[in-house]
Amino acid sequence: MNTGLAALLGLKMDEMTADRVVIRWQVRPELHQPFGIQHGGVYCSVVETAASIGGAIWLGERGRVVGVANQTDFLRAVRDGELTAVGTPVHRGRSQQLWHVEITDAEDRLVARGQVRLQNLGT
């Protein structure tokens, strides 16, 4: 699972199940926005990655998932250190899923949170 954008961001997948996805990464200068803090697009990407992995595992052989909405809030500026994202399902239906993801720093402070709506596509 650590290919493409996930590899570029340096994401480490600690847990990947249908009920919980845990991702860690290091904040580093190449992931900063111009003012020297973690770029919000990284948070959005991690939120979508966590939801998509969990949603795909849950849907399994019945099809594949695609993100159709991503709403991510940035709550605390981060310049360095390790961040952890934990994704859990809110709703899993026949045609769509909704996942919630919280991102915390090493001191367990909430730095961002988001939700992703996934469309379940049949095979």
pLDDT at 123: 66
User: What is the separation of C-alpha 108 from the centre of its chain, rounded to a whole number of angstroms?
Assistant: 17
pLDDT at 29: 95
Q: Which domains does the chain have, with CATH numbers?
A: 4-122 (3.10.129.10)
Low-confidence residues of the chain: pLDDT under 50? none
pLDDT at 42: 97
pLDDT at 37: 96
- The predicted-structure confidence for 22-37, as pLDDT tens digits, reads as follows 999 999 999 999 999 9
Question: Concatenated DSSP letters for 72-95?
Answer: EEE-S---SEEEEEEEEEEEE-SS
